[in-house]
Structures are given as C-alpha cells and as structure tokens.
Structure 1
C-alpha cells in the first residue's frame, strides 16, 4: 500500500468511475485499474463492487476511503510543517553558553534573532567553558558559545567577538595606589576566582603560566561558579580578581570596584559546533547571524 495507490483510490472512490479518475490524474485507464488491483491485493479485500458498467464502494472501500483521506491530509500537513521548519517558521535551537556570554553578551542578540525568526523556540543554558564544550560534543547542545582558549581540535570554531578582561579590587585595596607591575607581583594579594574550567579563570592561568607560575602560587581565598558571586566577594573584601569588563562595568561606575592598570590579553568569544552533526536550519541561521553571514 503506497501513497500513490491511495491517491488513485480516492480519485476513483470520489467519482465512482475509473475513466474519469484517470483523466483527472492524467494517467491511463490501465494504470488506474492496476493501482486499484494492487491495493485490493495488498488489503486482501474487494474495495469496489462492479455492477454492470458502474462501480461502487464496498464496506471495506468505504472504511479505506475515510482512513485514506486522513492519511493524505496528514501527509500534506507534514509537508507543510517541514517546509515551515526549513523556512525557520518553526523549530527549536538548543544553545549552551559560558557564564559571561550567557549573562551579558548573549541576551540582546537572542532577542534580536527572535525578532527575525519568532517561530523558532530558543532554549539557552549556562555553564562554564568546559561544560559547554562537553554538551556540544555529546549532542545536548546544537551550538555553544565559550570564552578563552581550550582544546577545540574536535569542534568547529568561529570567533564572534573579543572580550576585554580587567584586574579589579575594592577601592580600599593597596593595589589602588601601588598596582603590580609584573606577573610575579600578583602573589602580593589574596584572590577570589572562578572555578576550574571557567574561561575567565583560564586567561589568568595562561598569564601565570607565561611566567612559570600556577594558580597554586596565589593565595586563593574562595572560588565561585558565578561571576556575580566573585564580583560581590571582591567588593566586600580585600581580595583581587580578573573578570570581564562587561561583568564589572556597573561596579566600576558606582565606585564599588577599582580597575588596576595591569595589561591582560583579550580573549575570544567562540561559537562551537560538532562537525559531525547537522545544526539544522535554526542552528545554521543563528551561526550566520552571529558571524555576520545572515
């Protein structure tokens, strides 16, 4: 039983005439008769009664007519849904992003994308850089957005922005007046840091590594998995930290933090995807939107 056979059957059932159905379908009469014969053979039932030169539906034929109409209608609806999906009239985009991007850089861009494609459902989850990369590798996220430099050899990567990092302390910290001049001088303060696996922490680790040091050489009082918790702890105490300029902008303006003039490298915001998986229309459109190709 095929869709084409069902379409032929419905045309004959509607007209109760093989020749008329053949004309409407632009088929030969023999092709229509063959399709009906194949359908009856497949069902093991007679679908039409032949009464002289007329045909009429049997009870089995009337049952099949109702069901076939439902099948053809469902197929038409499916084709419409798939066309809608391909045209970004519908769909779901699972997006994972690291904390700084998710909290500060991404929300406005998600709203702009949704204005372009209101039918696409956006599902965003925040984590640290390592967690986001793992989600993309395992297929839990269609796309990921991360900060910092990690091993991305198995992922497709595109830089979508640059981020400026700042060394910040509370206004009463000694570094406000006597800032460190070299990396080894960073041991002269207590520290509050993001957790291991964070892109923000990774930048500091790379800076230390360049001078033969590790985080273990610093006096780390606490670690948090939240930018806001790190910022609040530094505002309240005498420790230092490194955070994105976007995270501390409000605190700097309010005088709750002081930016220490210590040069830190810019870091990339990177869009990551799995090269073995199709991102689908919504994923491809969002990637093009972020990279300027859409």
Structure 2
C-alpha cells in the first residue's frame, strides 16, 4: 500500500467524483482510477461504487476513509514536528479558541508572542468548548484556549490562567439601565439573547438564573459575540457576557452593569493533550502563555 494511493482515495471519497479529484490533485484521471483499483485489489474489497461519472463509498469504504484520514493527519504532523525539531522558531502552532476570546485576549496574546517569535505561524480554529475539546482529542489542534477550564479529564489537562466576571448588557433605554448593580432576578421578566444550548456561556447563564428561581426567556441565540451585542443594542433583549469581551467594544446604545447576586465568574485558560507530547513550537507557545499570564497577574496585584 502506497501513500499516494491513500491520498488519491481520500480526495475521491471527499469529492465523490474521480475527475474533480484528479483536477484537484493535478494528475490524470486515469492515474487516479488506476491507483484506487490497485488499492482495492491489495485490500481485497471494493471501496467505491461507480455511478456514471460519480462515485460513492461502500460501507467498508467509509471505514477505510476514517482510518486513512487519521493516517494522513499523523504523517503530516510527523513532518511538521521534524521540521520544528530542526528549528522550533519557524514552526506552526495549531490553536483552538472560542469566540469570546476572539476580540481581545487572543489578538493580544498572539501579538506579544509574534513580537518574540516572528517566524512562527498560526493555524487557528474557532468553536464551542465542546468542539474544541473534540478537535484537541482528535489531534486537529494541539492546544485550545477555553473558558471555563475543565479539570480532572482523562484525555487532556486544563490549566487556569485567570478568572473573570460576567456582567449584564442592556439597551441604554432599558428601565434598569441606570442601576449601578443588578441582582440577576431583576431580569426575570426580560427577553434574553444568549449563545445556543451546548455553549458553556449558555449553561452558565441558565444555571445562574435557575439558581435565582427562574428560567430565562431566550428570544434570540447567536454564536458570535458581536451579533449578540448587536441584538441587545437593537433593543431585542438583554444578555450576560464575560467582562473582557466588553473591554474595548461596547455598542453605543448599550450599557454594562455588574451583577451583585449571584457572583458569576468563569475560569479562563488552556487545555493540552495528556496522551501525546506537544510539538516544539507548541511547547514554546505554552511556556509563553504561562509566563504572559503570570506576569499579568503580578501586574494586577
């Protein structure tokens, strides 16, 4: 079995079309068909069903595709790690992050890191905490910044860098917008704009509301911080957001108000895999993060 055969098969399986796969690979269609035929002959099974110009995977073909993609990913990672061992300061960091860190924390950290290591590149992947954990376990990212930080997990280790408060964001003309502090149950009869269920920020807010004796009326859901801010600014509801997401960008027609009860906080940090060693460039970044937030804590103190 040759690496080329596996690469050709994955491309055909992804596109379900031999000609399109050949064009993407910049090789002749006959070469792709021949290599896949050789692969099927060696395995002794049919991986693809031909349907005119299109193809579709057989049941065993789908099983082989899953393992083949993992194998190619492992080979690509090995190539990257070899290059990084030769020169860790010219590698690539595969980092996951949630949208709540996109506007302030992440740019600040990466900017400071690139000032020290200008030749290291980043492959960034944004997603919910659940998706980022999935990507980390599968090896699609090597580190993920998350909030809150999971602890006592078998497949990855969590490290907390700091804690931050959640605050209320209200339209500026709201009846409670002039209050210096809010108890969460004062928002009992309001429409909420939140992240969808499955997102950690949704769970934090819903659990806090239930702790105060009510279930929030969620009128709108959005996966983007700026979209949620925009809906609040339009007067379509209220929300609770991490304070750091409002440090540099608060819509002019909104007001942020601290929550006095209950105290709402989330931990912010990073997760790394337990079952594999970080590649050299990722190690540099992990060490940098530890120093960066340690210095930040000392400055705050």
- Which band: TM-score by shorter chain? 0.5 to 0.7
Q: Tell me by how many angstroms 1:194 deviates.
A: 1.0
Q: Is the 1:180–1:186 contact (alpha carbons within 8 Å) kept by the matching residues of 2?
A: no
Question: Structure 2: 5+ residue runs without aligned partners?
Answer: 1-80, 295-301
User: What is the 5 A alignment of 1:30-49?
Assistant: none
Looking at structure 1, the residues matched to 223 and 150 of structure 2 have their Cα atoms a distance apart, in angstroms, of 18
User: What is the 5 A alignment of 1:86-97?
Assistant: 86-97=86-97
Which residue of the partner structure matches residue 145 of structure 1?
145
Q: Tell me by how many angstroms 1:156 deviates.
A: 0.4
Q: Tell me by how many angstroms 1:83 deviates.
A: 7.8
The structure number with the bigger radius of gyration is 1
Q: Is the 1:173–1:238 contact (alpha carbons within 8 Å) kept by the matching residues of 2?
A: no
Moved more, 119-128 or 142-151: 142-151
- Alignment CA distance shift 1:82-1:183 (3 Å): closer
User: Could you say what secondary structure the match of 2:259 adopts?
Assistant: coil
Question: Structure 1: 5+ residue runs without aligned partners?
Answer: 1-80
How many equivalent residue pairs? 210
Looking at structure 2, the residues matched to 110 and 143 of structure 1 have their Cα atoms a distance apart, in angstroms, of 13
Q: Tell me by how many angstroms 1:275 deviates.
A: 0.3
- Alignment CA distance shift 1:140-1:152 (3 Å): farther
User: What is the 5 A alignment of 1:102-181?
Assistant: 102-148=102-148, 150=150, 153-154=153-154, 155-177=156-178
User: Could you say what secondary structure the match of 1:195 adopts?
Assistant: coil
Does 1:222 pair with 2:225?
A: no
Q: Is the 2:166–2:259 contact (alpha carbons within 8 Å) kept by the matching residues of 1?
A: no
Q: Tell me by how many angstroms 1:85 deviates.
A: 3.0
Q: Is the 1:148–1:203 contact (alpha carbons within 8 Å) kept by the matching residues of 2?
A: no
Q: Is the 1:89–1:117 contact (alpha carbons within 8 Å) kept by the matching residues of 2?
A: yes
Q: Tell me by how many angstroms 1:180 deviates.
A: 8.2
Looking at structure 1, the residues matched to 86 and 162 of structure 2 have their Cα atoms a distance apart, in angstroms, of 28
Q: Is the 2:85–2:280 contact (alpha carbons within 8 Å) kept by the matching residues of 1?
A: yes
**2:256 pairs with 251, 255, 259, which one?**
259
- Alignment CA distance shift 1:207-1:86 (3 Å): farther
Over the aligned positions, Cα root-mean-square deviation in angstroms equals 2.7
User: What is the 5 A alignment of 1:1-294?
Assistant: 82=82, 85-148=85-148, 150=150, 153-154=153-154, 155-177=156-178, 182-211=183-212, 213=214, 217-250=215-248, 252=250, 255-263=252-260, 264-292=263-291
